[in-house]
Amino acid sequence: MSYLDYVRQFKLPHYWCPGCGTGVVLQAVVRAFEALGWKQEDLAFITGIGCSGRMSTYVNANTMHTTHGRPLAFATGVKLARPEKHVVVVSGDGDALAIGGNHFIHAARRNIDIKLVIINNLVYGMTGGQVSPTTPQKFRTQTTPYGNIDPNFDVVKLAIAAGATFVGREAVTRPRNLEKLIEKSFQHKGFSVVEVISNCHINLGRKNKMKDQITMLRWISTKTIPKNLAEKKKPEELEGKILLGIFHEDKNRKEYTELYREIQERAGGNK
């Protein structure tokens, strides 16, 4: 199957703003499906609310568009009912880390085999650009017109601390690396998290002297550095830099639906 078979092309053009990074993530996700040869009938693709939420309309598989912050909760139900299926969630920084932050840490704690991709565009883009838990400090948004004072989450550290067994980060400025990372995370058995630094030049960039996608993508490029290159740099050169790569991979921890099957057998079920 070609990656295009995983896209409902009759739904195009998509409704994201011109230059938005979300389309890059969609392409990386469907190319990973192609590379792995996943059958559409084995694939449950679940999204929540926000710009990322619309992806369940464009992906051609079993898809579900759920409520704000809850795609992981819905996905947990799907995975428990059909543990043999591939369950993929694409979410945003608002969806996964603000309103749905609780589901995020508990899905990670359980190590349930759900593949999570978080499109982190550093803002609530869909509603017009309000501060999110990943908005950098000093950034101006609709709800912080004189600059954000809230410290932001480090998604990678948060995911590792909460118990995710595969954690990586990429940026939309490196679409090929992104595709490879997503493909690798999809092969992992357990809760995987890929954070994708993305651009919202319309609702974040414009307020922060990055009004077009090129300027904002350049900013992401200068702000991010691959982990292997960072290892050769001095600490002062890495000040304020966002590292890209795989940060955590644990193949030993048991996956949740396996543990669940064991407990079912011990309780006399599943005979």
Partner 1 sequence: MSEIKILNGNAAIAWAVKQINPDVVAAYPITPSTSIVEHIAKYVADGVMTTEFVTPESEHSAMSMCVGASTGGARVFTATASQGLALMFEILYIAASLRLPIVAGIANRSLSAPINIHGDHSDVMAGRDTGWIQIHSENSQEAYDNIIQAFRIGEHKDVSTPVMVTMDGFILSHALQDVVVEEDEKVKNFVGERDPLYTALDVDHPITVGPIDFTDYYFEHKRSQMVGMENAPRVIKEVGEEFKKEFGREYGFIELYKMEDAEIAIVVLGSTAGTTKIVVDELRNKGKKVGLVKMRVYRPFPSREIVDALSNLKAVAILDRAMSPGALGGPLFTDVRSSLYESDKKPILVNYIYGLGGRDIAPKHIEEVYSRLEKIAATGKRGELLSYINLRE
Out of 127, 161, 163, 212, point to the residue binding partner 1 (CB under 8 A).
Answer: 127
- Do residues 28 and 186 lie in contact, with contact meaning Cβ atoms separated by under 8 Å? no
Is residue 143 a contact residue for partner 1 (CB under 8 A)? Answer: yes
**What's the min distance (Å) between Cβ of 89 and partner 1?**
16
Is residue 108 a contact residue for partner 1 (CB under 8 A)? Answer: no
From the list 2-10, 22-30, 141-149, 178-186, the region that binds partner 1 by CB under 8 A is 141-149
Binding mask 33-62 for partner 1 (x = CB under 8 A): ----------------x---x---------
Is residue 67 a contact residue for partner 1 (CB under 8 A)? Answer: yes
Tell me how many residues contact partner 1 (CB under 8 A): 21
Is residue 131 a contact residue for partner 1 (CB under 8 A)? Answer: yes
Out of 24, 25, 89, 98, point to the residue binding partner 1 (CB under 8 A).
Answer: 98
Out of 43, 45, 58, 69, point to the residue binding partner 1 (CB under 8 A).
Answer: 69
Q: Which is nearer to partner 1, 65 or 184 (CB)?
A: 65
Out of 144, 163, 223, 230, point to the residue binding partner 1 (CB under 8 A).
Answer: 144
Q: How many CA atoms lie within 13 A of 56 on its CB side?
A: 22
Is residue 74 a contact residue for partner 1 (CB under 8 A)? Answer: no
CA–CA–CA angle 262, 185, 26 (5° rounding): 125
Rg from Cα positions in the chain: 18
Is residue 27 a contact residue for partner 1 (CB under 8 A)? Answer: no
Binding site for partner 1 (CB under 8 A): 49, 53, 65, 67-69, 98-99, 101, 124, 126-128, 130-131, 133, 142-146
